[in-house]
């Protein structure tokens, strides 16, 4: 596919640079589009408008409209087009404006993309990447503030990752683009502006299916992903400074496949665990984690596995009510102290 006559300056090929989460995602796409001409981007407003959240800013100028394609407001249609392109050997990156809108294309994701490899006996694969943000806290109300991580992570054949920092945003997106199976990359609205150090190496990817110990500790394990990890790290820093409490934070990074070994090793060390998510706890990610911990770490636990998530209500618009429903830092702190039996 031919590129545009207007090209952005190429990114440095080595070293470490501080950048935002959205810039790290853009770097990953640029590097993979330079590496493999089969990689292209499609979605609502990804080209001329530079993306709803400016993640794809400049890519149309650099690679042209054939490889950065604006689509109609029809998620079922363009996700289906992405599935077909992937089956024919292309490597599409489909951007959905928000995870809530992916519900319109659930049939394409769950009944087609996730099942193609098995239904065709492995002779046809579906190397499709779907990028989409989720999360609450922006007063976007009940239909635009949901976290369906657990829904999609429960789908066999679909890989699901949720980076919590710029380095993992770059590394996991690159790994997803190179994967021969469909991968859902769940981003997060509040994290887009967060900054961190990112390795510029175009060959460096973060492995799908491996959690990371984001902060080492000895008193309590907090298992989280996405924005819950960001909050947990802030709570860990505060409790260490104010109360001498040592929290170990395990960032899941990948929801399917799930790295139980890293979680179990941490729980075996601390003997207490709090699982945090932005989704609804019932039938959610923390429910699965709690079940896995109970099976793998039964003899290591000194207290029941505790969970914290979004209040199980349609999220209200009023800021005070929205905050009251969310797993904020104050709620994580109190839940951690309760598991440690330091408060009632």
Domain boundaries, the chain: 17-199, 212-339
Of 132, 138, 6, nearest to 59 by C-alpha is: 6
* Fold match flag (17-199 vs 212-339): yes
Q: What is the mean pLDDT of the chain?
A: 94
The residue written with tokens 């706890």 in the block is 281
Please provide the CATH number assigned to the domain covering 212-339: 3.40.50.920
Q: What is the pLDDT of residues 35-66, one digit of tens each?
A: 999 999 999 999 999 999 999 999 999 999 99
pLDDT band at 114 (very low <50, low <70, confident <90, very high): very high
Q: Any idea which architecture 17-199 has in CATH? A: 3-Layer(aba) Sandwich (3.40)
* Confidence (pLDDT) at 30: 98
Show the tokens assigned to 41.
């981007």
Show the tokens assigned to 275.
């699982």
Q: Is the pLDDT of residue 280 over 70?
A: yes
Close Cβ partners of 261 (under 8 Å, ≥ 6 residues apart) = none
Q: Can you give 1-34 as a three-state secondary structure string?
A: CCCCCCCCCCCCCCCEEEEEHHHHHHHHHHHHHH
pTM across the whole model: 0.94
* Confidence (pLDDT) at 141: 85
DSSP 232-273: HHHHHHHHHHHH---EEEEE--EEES--HHHHHHHHHHHS-E
Return the SS3 of 19: strand
pLDDT band at 89 (very low <50, low <70, confident <90, very high): very high
Q: Is the pLDDT of residue 304 over 80?
A: yes
- Cβ-count burial of 45 within 10 angstroms (0-12 exposed, 13-18 middle, 19+ buried)? middle
Q: Is the pLDDT of residue 148 over 60?
A: yes
The catalytic residues are 75, 144
pLDDT band at 10 (very low <50, low <70, confident <90, very high): low
Q: What is the pLDDT of residues 188-239, one digit of tens each?
A: 999 999 999 999 999 999 999 999 999 999 999 999 999 999 999 999 999 9
């Amino acid at each position: 596919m031919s590129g545009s006559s207007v090209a952005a300056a190429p990114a440095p090929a080595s070293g470490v640079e501080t950048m935002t989460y959205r810039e790290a995602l853009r770097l990953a796409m640029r590097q993979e589009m330079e590496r493999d001409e089969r990689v292209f981007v499609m979605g609502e407003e990804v080209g001329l408008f530079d993306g709803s959240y400016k993640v794809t800013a400049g890519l149309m100028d650099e690679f042209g409209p054939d490889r950065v394609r604006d689509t109609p407001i029809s998620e079922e249609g363009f996700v289906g087009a992405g599935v077909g392109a992937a089956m024919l050997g292309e490597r599409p990156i489909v951007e959905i404006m928000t995870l809530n809108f992916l519900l319109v294309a659930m049939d394409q994701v769950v009944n087609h993309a996730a099942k193609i490899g098995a239904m065709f006996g492995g002779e046809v694969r579906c190397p499709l990447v779907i990028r989409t943000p989720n999360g609450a806290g922006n007063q976007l109300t009940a239909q635009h503030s949901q976290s369906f991580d657990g829904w999609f992570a429960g789908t066999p054949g679909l890989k699901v990752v949720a980076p919590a920092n710029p380095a993992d945003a770059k590394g996991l997106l690159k790994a997803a683009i190179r994967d021969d199976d469909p991968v859902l990359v769940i981003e997060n609205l509040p994290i887009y502006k967060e900054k961190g150090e990112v390795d510029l190496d175009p060959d460096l990817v973060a492995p799908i299916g491996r959690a990371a110990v984001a902060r080492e500790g000895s008193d309590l394990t907090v298992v989280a992903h996405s924005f819950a990890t960001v909050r947990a790290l802030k709570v860990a820093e505060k409790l260490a400074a104010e109360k001498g409490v040592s929290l170990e934070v395990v960032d899941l990074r990948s929801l399917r496949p799930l790295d139980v070994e890293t979680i179990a090793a941490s729980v075996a060390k601390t003997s207490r665990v709090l699982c945090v998510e932005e989704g609804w706890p019932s039938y959610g990610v923390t429910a699965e984690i709690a079940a896995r911990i109970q099976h793998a770490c039964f003899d290591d636990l000194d207290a029941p596995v505790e969970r914290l998530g979004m209040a199980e209500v349609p999220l209200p618009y009023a800021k005070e009510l929205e905050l009251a429903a969310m797993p904020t830092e104050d709620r994580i702190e109190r839940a951690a102290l309760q598991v440690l039996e330091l408060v009632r």
